[in-house]
Amino acid sequence: MGPVDPTRELSGAIRGVLEPTGLCLCDLEFATGPGGGRLRLVVDRPGGVTLDECSRASRLVSAWLDAADPLPGPYTLEVSSPGAERPLTDEAQLVGAIGHRVRLELEGGPLPARLVVEGWLVAVAPDVLELEVRPGRRRAGARRRVDRTVVVAARRLVDL
């Protein structure tokens, strides 16, 4: 039996701490090093998250961590937003990105190369993502369906 991963148990508890604030936990990472551990949280909500909301989340989670003491030894807590060009890691984030420009990294076949497709996400289904691919700055583009089994990574892009 391998070492226990504390992030799985922590995720559920921290989600419960954040839920009353309207924030959701997008990512949690715990790493240990010579100077102690580092617990990194990425929080978000529909419409985005402010610096004040990150600070509030940090205070709430810190108070819970102090009381529950779930991690061994010293550690640092970091709380941040996912940023403008955020990874889309679950179904809710993909659905929330409909109407926005996205970048998909796709398996490239037998070689370790990856194909990149960018476009405006127009539909999310259990087995496919549908993009509108617009060459240049044209208003309309061709629709492209992408099988979700070949999607390696998805990211929302800022359209300037």
Reported as a single tens digit per residue, the pLDDT across 85-144 is: 888 888 888 998 899 899 999 987 555 677 889 999 999 999 999 999 877 666 677 899
Look at the chain and count its residues.
160
Burial tier of 119 (Cβ tally within 10 Å: 0-12, 13-18, 19+)? buried
Do 33 and 58 meet the contact criterion of CB atoms below 8 Å apart?
Answer: no
- Using CA atoms, how far residue 37 sits from 15, 29, 89, in Å, is 20, 10, 24
* Structural domains of the chain sorted by starting position, each given as residue range(s) with its CATH number in brackets: 6-80 (3.30.300.70), 91-156 (2.30.30.100)
At how many degrees (to 10) do helices 6-18 and 51-68 cross? 120
DSSP state of 87: B
> What local confidence, expressed as pLDDT, does residue 33 receive?
86
The label of the residue with tokens 């076949």 reads: 109
Retrieve residue 145's tokens.
Answer: 């369906």
Do 30 and 38 meet the contact criterion of CB atoms below 8 Å apart?
Answer: yes
- Using CA atoms, how far residue 121 sits from 22, 35, 46, 67, 160, in Å, is 25, 43, 17, 43, 16
Q: Indicate the pTM of the whole model.
A: 0.64
Reported as a single tens digit per residue, the pLDDT across 21-63 is: 999 898 899 988 888 899 999 998 877 889 999 999 999 999 9
